Amino acid sequence: MPDPSADERPLPGRQREARSNDAAVLAAAREVLSAQGHDASMAEIARHAGVGVASIYRRYPTKEALVEALRVTGVSAAAALAHEVAGSMPDGAGAAPDGHADDGADTGAAPAGAVASFLARQITGAPGPILQPPGRGAPISSELGAASEELHAGLRRLVARDRADGLVPEGFTAADVMQLLLHLRPALPYPRAHADALHLRYLDLAMRGLAEQARDGVVLDDGPHWDEWMGSWHD
Amino acid sequence: MPDPSADERPLPGRQREARSNDAAVLAAAREVLSAQGHDASMAEIARHAGVGVASIYRRYPTKEALVEALRVTGVSAAAALAHEVAGSMPDGAGAAPDGHADDGADTGAAPAGAVASFLARQITGAPGPILQPPGRGAPISSELGAASEELHAGLRRLVARDRADGLVPEGFTAADVMQLLLHLRPALPYPRAHADALHLRYLDLAMRGLAEQARDGVVLDDGPHWDEWMGSWHD
DNA sequence: ATCGGAACGGAACGTCCGTTCCGATTCAGA
DNA sequence: TCTGAATCGGAACGGACGTTCCGTTCCGAT
């Protein structure tokens, strides 16, 4: 979707505040929603961003739309990272998100798929409510669908590499990675650092289990499908 | 807390409906809260129980109190099961909850602690919101505290037995079992059976990881403490 | 210096939900 | 059969939150 007007910051007047507000809103939303869960109030997000509620609604028609935007950026960042870890970036993708090189160090010789997923979660900054699928009804904007597909491709590459290295058992798929992430998540009521430390502790167990299954030649029976994540269940 | 009046169903007149309503409310609450999460409405619970909202409030002063009651029964059932699996029941404890013998079969030679915990969760029937600790402020009624302590004792026995059998690594504690349960939980938005199947799939990974750590002689560094679960964090 | 419009912040509105209140219903005892 | 107490279900209340509306502020242009 190309912008017909000139895009090289042509009107830096009042619109610059708009842009910076936009960024502040996104950051605040990520922060507040990740700390307090999905029922944090819009007023709280606005206050955190140093902005009135109206400034949020001017850009996002609804709270769900704001969460959607966070989902898209989170999933895109995860996809970029997955591709990067897998060995080569996709085409002209943006720069890799910052601050993730150190975290991966202490996970040892774990399967890259799981590691990358954990890092992806770190990147999103808002693990619980945001990596979770939207409500039952009408899900998946085209943007989110595209990001999701890109992530799928990246994870497939990662898992394939891990399979070749004998780090994950046969039958373990990219969809498994997503569902494992959905099932193993930091406990909300605790302070962030504490919850993350424990999260890492137990994720390590799962990765060891994977590697052991691979060594034992286990063949997993049919697991989840990719579109079950973010999929519409229609009950 | 002994009841001074006669307790052997002395007034079966209108009060029988009260008793059965009470049971229906508890069952409905467990069902609805487990399916829809903590923000299911009281009206929905009442409707599910075939009862007016007032009949709930007549017995539980607040929604939180109702959830508390579910927590107590859930934790007590888990404690009873843990003691049973560990080899002998506590004193005059009630009968073991039904319908759990079959589920344990397909987990193979997994550590009993994790298996029992999973079963405990099955028993509670309301995994997510109910095993989670209450809000930050004033937690832990004495009843819940007692049930929690009983569960702690049971899990300690289980974990000790598993340690002796070389199924869990050194440094893995009863508190670890609880926190692992808190971190690895069924994904809500999916149909129950599906979410449970995946939950079991990934729990199996963690248990394999535990066993492997034990075989490798891994010594875990300091993990969680028991009273961090249900503990008041005071931020 | 003044004007127009874009963007702002916060007050106002409607809805939903937890909780309370009240008239109707049922049952034990006379 | 009648009375009264206990219990019931659902309507009414109050507050919180998502969303909308409006008067104000700021910036570029005339």
Instruction: Say which CATH number the domain at B56 has.
Output: 1.10.10
Per-residue pLDDT averaged across B84-113, rounded?
50
Which residue of chain B comes nearest to A204, CA vs CA? B209
Are residues B29 and B111 located together in one domain of the fold?
no
Query: What pLDDT is attached to residue A46?
Result: 96
Containing structural domain, residue A36: 10-61
Is B5 part of any domain?
no
Are residues B55 and B75 located together in one domain of the fold?
no
Are residues B57 and B22 located together in one domain of the fold?
yes
pLDDT higher than threshold 70 for residue A121:
no
- State the pTM of this model: 0.81
Are residues B70 and B57 located together in one domain of the fold?
no
- Which of residues B153 and A35 earns the better pLDDT score? B153
Is B1 part of any domain?
no
Is B2 part of any domain?
no
Minimum mean pLDDT range among A64-78, A204-218, B99-113: B99-113
- Domains in chain B: how many in total? 2
A168 falls in which pLDDT band (50, 70, 90)?
A: very high
CA of A126 to C1' of D24 (A): 36
pLDDT higher than threshold 80 for residue B226:
yes
Q: Is the CB of B219 under 7 A from strand C?
A: no
CB contact under 8 A, A189 and B233: yes
**pLDDT tens-digit profile of A69-115?**
998 888 888 888 888 888 744 443 333 444 444 343 344 456 776 66
Is B206 part of any domain?
yes
Q: Look over chain A and give the mean of its residue pLDDT values, rounded to a whole number.
A: 77
Are residues B28 and B77 located together in one domain of the fold?
no
Minimum mean pLDDT range among A155-159, B68-72, B109-113, B193-197: B109-113
Are residues A171 and A84 located together in one domain of the fold?
yes
Query: What pLDDT is attached to residue B173?
Result: 94
Is A2 part of any domain?
no
CB contact under 8 A, B184 and A202: yes
Question: CA-to-CA distance for A77 and A175, rounded, in angstroms?
Answer: 18
Which nucleotides along chain C are within 7 A of a protein C-beta?
5-11, 16-22, 26-28
Are residues B149 and B90 located together in one domain of the fold?
yes
CB contact under 8 A, A179 and B202: yes
Question: CA-to-CA distance for B53 and A22, rounded, in angstroms?
Answer: 43
CB contact under 8 A, B235 and A191: yes
Chain A residues touching residue B223 (CB < 8 angstroms): 198, 201
Minimum-distance nucleotide, CA of B13 to C1': C27
Is A4 part of any domain?
no
Query: What pLDDT is attached to residue A123?
Result: 57
Are residues B56 and B84 located together in one domain of the fold?
no
Chain B residues touching residue A205 (CB < 8 angstroms): 180, 205-207, 209-210, 213
Chain A residues touching residue B219 (CB < 8 angstroms): none
Per-residue pLDDT averaged across A208-234, rounded?
85
Minimum mean pLDDT range among B41-45, B94-98, B213-217: B94-98
pLDDT higher than threshold 80 for residue A140:
no
Is A206 part of any domain?
yes
Query: What pLDDT is attached to residue B165?
Result: 87
Q: Is the CB of B50 under 7 A from strand D?
A: yes
Which residue of chain B comes nearest to A179, CA vs CA? B198
- Which of residues B207 and A92 earns the better pLDDT score? B207
Minimum mean pLDDT range among A48-62, A184-198, B123-137: B123-137
Query: What pLDDT is attached to residue A84?
Result: 85
Are residues B201 and B103 located together in one domain of the fold?
yes
Query: What pLDDT is attached to residue A41?
Result: 96
Are residues B81 and B142 located together in one domain of the fold?
yes
Chain B residues touching residue A201 (CB < 8 angstroms): 220, 223
pLDDT higher than threshold 90 for residue B60:
yes
**A187 closest CB neighbour out of B182, B209, B213:** B182
DSSP chain A: ---SS--SS---STHHHHHHHHHHHHHHHHHHHHHH-TT--HHHHHHHHTS-HHHHHTT-SSHHHHHHHHHHHHHHHHHHHHHHHHTS--SS--PPPSS-TTGGGGGTT--HHHHHHHHHHHHHS-HHHHHS---SSS---HHHHHHHHHHHHHHHHHHHHHHHTT-S-BT--HHHHHHHHHHB---TTS-HHHHHHHHHHHHHHHHHHHHHHHHHT-B------GGGTT-----
Are residues B219 and B204 located together in one domain of the fold?
yes
Is B84 part of any domain?
yes
Are residues A143 and A217 located together in one domain of the fold?
yes
Residues 8-27 of B with CB under 7 A from strand D: 14-15, 17-18, 21
pLDDT higher than threshold 60 for residue B123:
no
Query: What pLDDT is attached to residue B61?
Result: 94
Burial (0-12, 13-18, 19+ Cβ within 10 Å), A55: middle
- Interface of B to A at Cβ within 8 Å reads 39, 132-133, 135-136, 179-180, 182-191, 194, 198-199, 201-202, 204-213, 220, 223-224, 228, 233, 235
